């Protein structure tokens, strides 16, 4: 029997050792949530200011430890609810960051999530304004490095990855409808794409694409006036994927 498993023994020994808390390597598992929303027409991310070292005073993603009997997704949803009060927003796992020195105190493996939430006012419910605020992503991961705010840990990289993921989610899912209040006009929906992608879109082509994609939006049978001709209103339909995806200009 020992001859049948010469290579796997060491792995099981590791597992047995794991049962002894004293012998276990101290690794913390946390979730960090990149809450993205539109604020004054700019894609923004919710950050909290740290009150203790390391990185005291620096801005960081909200996050916390995964509890013992809680799934990773549940932990992310809990953090999102604690920080914003939002409960039904699309939350997606982004990636996991675990470089040995990403936290100077100890080994911390962080599972990052992206949440796309509708604009809220006040922007962050239940938190002190001096402790949490929305930052335009341009000021955090923009191209002009001199204008960027330094983030704690490796959170700038996480935010950059989250923005890139959000841009891809807009291409392949109707998640943009979660960033506007219903009912919405097609212009409002287009502004979501323009803000997240950072490029202007042709209104005519955008309209044709959205209306011709099954399950994206459904008419609301009302109009909203403003400057110019009143616009028809729509609500999100049931599609989970957009196929073919929304085209994103280079």
Question: Which residues contact DNA (rule: CB under 7 A)?
Answer: 185-187, 202-205, 207-209, 211, 223, 225-232, 244, 247, 249
Give least dist CB 246 to DNA, A.
7
CA distance to 10, 97, 110, 112, per residue, from 25 (Å): 16, 18, 16, 22
26 vs 226, beta carbon nearer DNA: 226
151 vs 192, beta carbon nearer its own copies: 151
What is the largest distance, in Å, between two alpha-carbon atoms of the chain? 82
C-beta separation of 30 from 122 below 8 A: no
Q: Is 131 a catalytic residue?
A: yes
Cα torsion 81, 30, 130, 114: sign: negative
67 vs 235, beta carbon nearer its own copies: 67
Lookup: tokens for 58: 């620096």
18 vs 211, beta carbon nearer DNA: 211
**DSSP calls for 197-228:** H-S---HHHHHHHHHHSTTSEEEEEEEEEESE
Considering only CA atoms, which of 42, 41, 127 is closest in space to residue 80?
A: 127
Alpha carbon 117 to its chain centroid, in Å, reads 9
Lookup: tokens for 126: 């239940």
Q: Which of 12, 56, 82, 131 is catalytic?
A: 131
CA distance to 6, 7, 130, per residue, from 1 (Å): 9, 12, 64
Q: Using CB under 8 A, which of the segments 105-113, 149-157, 175-183, 232-240 binds its own copies?
A: 105-113
Binding at 111: pick from its own copies, DNA, none (beta carbon under 5-8 Å per type): its own copies
Residue selected from 42, 64, 120, 248 as contacting its own copies according to rule CB under 8 A: 64
Q: Using CB under 8 A, which of the segments 93-101, 134-142, 187-195, 212-220 binds its own copies?
A: 93-101
Binding at 122: pick from its own copies, DNA, none (beta carbon under 5-8 Å per type): none
Binding site for its own copies (CB under 8 A): 4-9, 11-12, 14-15, 18-19, 21-22, 24-29, 48, 50-52, 64-72, 93, 95-100, 105-107, 109, 111, 126-128, 130-132
Catalytic residues: 131
């Amino acid at each position: 029997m020992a001859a049948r498993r010469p290579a796997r023994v060491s792995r099981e020994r590791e597992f047995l050792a794991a049962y002894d808390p004293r012998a276990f390597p101290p690794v913390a598992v946390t979730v960090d949530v990149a809450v993205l929303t539109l604020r004054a027409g700019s894609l923004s991310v919710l950050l909290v200011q740290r009150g203790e070292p390391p990185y005291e005073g620096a801005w960081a993603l909200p996050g916390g430890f995964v509890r013992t009997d809680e799934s990773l997704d549940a932990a992310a949803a809990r953090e999102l609810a604690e920080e914003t009060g939002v409960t039904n927003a699309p939350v997606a796992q982004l990636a996991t960051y675990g470089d040995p020195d990403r936290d100077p105190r100890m080994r911390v493996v962080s599972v990052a999530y992206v949440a796309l939430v509708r604009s809220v006012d006040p922007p962050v419910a239940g938190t002190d304004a001096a402790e949490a605020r929305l930052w335009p992503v341009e000021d955090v991961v923009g191209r002009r490095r001199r204008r960027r705010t330094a983030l704690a840990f490796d959170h700038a990289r996480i935010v950059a990855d989250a923005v890139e993921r959000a841009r891809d989610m807009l291409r392949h899912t109707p998640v943009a409808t979660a960033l506007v209040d219903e009912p919405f006009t097609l212009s409002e929906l287009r502004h979501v794409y323009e803000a997240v992608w950072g490029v202007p879109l042709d209104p005519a082509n955008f309209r044709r694409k959205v209306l011709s994609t099954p399950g994206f939006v459904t008419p609301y049978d009302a109009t909203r006036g403003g400057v110019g001709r009143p616009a028809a209103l729509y609500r999100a339909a049931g599609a989970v994927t957009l196929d073919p995806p929304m085209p994103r200009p280079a």
